[in-house]
A and B are shown apart, each in its own frame.
Chain A
Amino acid sequence: MSQCLLEASDLSMRFGGLLAVDQMALKVRKGEIVSIIGPNGAGKTTVFNCLTGFYKPTGGKILFQGQAVEKLPGFKIARLGVVRTFQNVRLFKAMTVLENLLVAQHRHLNTGLLAGLFKTPSFRKSEAKAMERAAYWLNKVGLTEFANREAGNLAYGQQRRLEIARCMVTDPQLLMLDEPAAGLNPNETRELDELISDLRKNHGVSVLLIEHDMKLVMEISDRIYVINQGRPLASGTPEAVRNHPEVIKAYLGES
């Protein structure tokens, strides 16, 4: 069994009287693609928000590479190498595509005030490196020709790809995608499928995925977690989940 990257146990999140996530356990190993599925309002995005530090979970433990992260603020978790995309794309819309990718590399750059004001060699070097990395990922997601276009003016599918590229320039360990295929046409979904597999294969990133597109989920996932009304319902390989009677009842319909 390969190394465990992210492990959550007994994860709970309560909003007043509503228990949005109840005793969720989750594990992502290095190099795995893991999906979370469930009907609308099941608490999938809440799990994401807990894992990435946007919510402070009311109970449970989250370990990332052996380190407890459930109390850390979001930006610190991101710095450890957990980056995410959002259900409704969150780009820096008024900035150019290229700038979006440069902002994402903030913590890798020389942020010294004086170094930047006087353009020291080390500053130039770090900026050039950032540009190189941005150029590489632009090319990878096929947005090179839009580099100086404002991100808000891109087509929806392009925005989705830019958001993934923006995560990847930060050099993450774990990429968390919240419904990356929402609003994409079948063709674009197939490309997304290929992109995600490629990221895992060539860039050593593990992926945690929330998705409604069953075809995509079943194709690329190593393991799947099913949650319903905040409670874990089933987990296992795509095959096992597909045939799980509870899942069929709750999620795929009772037919």
Chain B
Amino acid sequence: MNKSSTTLRWFPAFMATGTLLLVAVLMLGVQLSTENTELVVHFAASERWHLILFGAVLVFLVQLFRNPISAFWQRTKKHNPLPQVQLPSLNDNKSLKRLLISFAVAGLMVWPFFVSRGAVDLATLALIYVMLGLGLNVVVGLAGLLDLGYVGFYAVGAYSYALLSQYFGLDFWSCLLIGGVMVAFFGFILGFPVLRLRGDYLAIVTLGFGEIIRILLNNWTSITGGPNGISQIPKPTLFGLEFSRRAKEDGNVPFHEFFGIDYSSGYKVIFLYILALLLVLLTLYIINRLLRMPIGRAWEALREDDIACRSLGLNPTAIKLSAFTIGAAFAGFAGTFFAARQGFISPESFTFIESAIILAIVVLGGMGSQMGVILAAVIMTVLPEFAREFQEYRMLMFGLMMVLMMMWRPEGLMPMKRPYLKLKKHQSDKDNASVNRQPIAESV
């Protein structure tokens, strides 16, 4: 046994415990409040002090004995290796893969009819973030362009529906298309000035862009209503059927009357959920196709090495612009849907923290990985709901989660898998026969 595994770590132990005490005592142990005109310090109850003390002792001991503990852990792992479970590969079994996907989709479609309204609502929110995450994944994960102003596109999508319906009375479905196209155009426009930038510089410019959009919406009161936002945005309709108790326009029949069932506000929630699910499925399909198309491969190539791209005749400008445009279009769809679901939007919903959360979803899930992004989006939206009691510590927990992720799984929850492309067998045989093999091929 080497020496490092038995030495006690006195210094780190004291440091860690000191830090813990400093933070815990200030945050949990004492509280300031004003009584009349004086500031009064309240001390917490004794059981909380016991908890803090217990935590401090625990941290001290773990830090002190970290080397022996990890050595012990390594040894047990070596002696009793965990059984490796090999799941059957889905790549070889296309029909099984299709079957599983259709089951999953069917399950997700039926699921909302059996659970509470709140759960469906939360799931809808999660789906919006899935859409945003998948869109940003195109820009950041695939094309490698760090975009910190993604929420700007989201805002443009939301506001384009809100304004178009307010001023021109357009309905959700046409706005979904117009919004998508409009935001794609915005992405294209933003793409131009940032074409020459890379990495950090690009991040700063896009960050500025996101803020400009928000500030513009906040101050252009005559059109956007400023901080008051826009309310009474119409909900989506199902082939013209509304989900309200009474039809807003004359001659329209609400959904429940058309089918002769009792009115329930739950229908609307379920309808919105299914709509979001369909949008996510569409997004997934499109991105999956893009990945297997020349354009998707070019994005990744650009991320890997733009100089090599140029040397092979790929135009980096066009590739960057297409990534920006297509990534933005998905934010446009998500934004339009968001506005329709909320019925009310204001610049408050499009602050930088939203961009940060979407980016966190992409990084947490694994750059470029679609399943990872979906998983991370669900975690990031559902977890805060379950941890309501820790509301104030939400950002602290996000930060902690990010730090832990970067330490243990820097490549994300589910790192991107390369698409496996099969070379046709007979084809290479044919080549072998027709081309006289060069010595270079034999030496491998």
Contact = CB atoms under 8 A, between A and B. Distances in A.
Contacts of A244: none
A79 B424 CA distance: 28
A136 B315 CA distance: 26
For B289, B298, B308, B435, the residue with the greatest tally of chain A CB atoms inside 10 Å of its CB is: B308
A42 interface: no
Given A95-B300, A131-B421, A148-B418, A140 B427 contact: no
Interface residues of B, number: 42
Interface string A97-112: 0110011111101110
Contacts of B432: 139
Interface in A103-141: 103-107, 109-111, 113, 116-117, 119, 123, 131-132, 134-136, 138-141
A104 B418 contact: no
Interface in A228-254: none
A141 B441 contact: yes
Interface string B7-44: 00000000000000000000000000000000000000
Given A135-B424, A148-B418, A140 B295 contact: no
Contacts of A106: 294, 297-298, 312-314
B438 A140 contact: yes
B440 A170 contact: no
Contacts of A187: 443
A113 B326 CA distance: 11
B301 A170 contact: no
Interface string A53-94: 110000000000000000001111011000110100011111
A52 interface: yes
Contacts of B261: none
A78 B424 contact: no
Interface string A132-157: 10111011111111011010000000
B294 A170 contact: no
Contact of A102 (B290, B297, B304, B431): B297
B288 to A, nearest CB: 10
A103 B301 contact: yes
Interface in B261-301: 286, 289-290, 292-295, 297-298, 300-301
Contact of A142 (B313, B314, B427, B444): B444
Nearest to A115: B293
B82 to A, nearest CB: 26
Contact of B440 (A103, A105, A141, A147): A141
Contacts of B293: 111, 113, 116-117, 123
Grouping DSSP codes into helix (H, G, I), strand (E, B) and loop, the B interface class, with mixed when no group exceeds half, is: helix
A91 B308 CA distance: 7
Contacts of A110: 294
A119 B304 CA distance: 26
Contacts of B118: none
A195 B438 CA distance: 8
A59 B311 CA distance: 22
Contact of B427 (A84, A91, A116, A132): A132
B316 interface: yes
Contacts of A10: none
A203 to B, nearest CB: 11
Contact of B310 (A54, A141, A191, A195): A54
A44 interface: no
Contacts of B303: 94
B199 interface: no
A112 to B, nearest CB: 9
Contacts of A90: 305, 307-308, 311
A213 interface: no
B431 A109 contact: no
A78 B311 contact: yes
B311 A191 contact: no
A140 B435 contact: yes
A166 interface: yes
A23 interface: no
Contacts of A53: 310
B260 interface: no
Contact of B313 (A54, A83, A86): A83
B438 A198 contact: yes
Contacts of A91: 304-305, 308
Contact of A191 (B294, B418, B440): B440
A147 B24 CA distance: 55
A1 B442 CA distance: 37
Given A90-B311, A102-B294, 13 more contacts: A75-B309, A75-B310, A95-B297, A103-B300, A106-B313, A116-B290, A116-B295, A119-B289, A136-B431, A138-B423, A139-B431, A142-B443, A170-B312
10 contacts: A75-B315, A84-B311, A86-B307, A91-B305, A110-B294, A116-B289, A139-B432, A141-B440, A143-B444, A147-B421
Which 6 residue pairs of A and B lie closest in terms of their CB atoms, listed nearest first? Answer: A78-B313, A116-B293, A142-B441, A92-B304, A142-B444, A90-B308
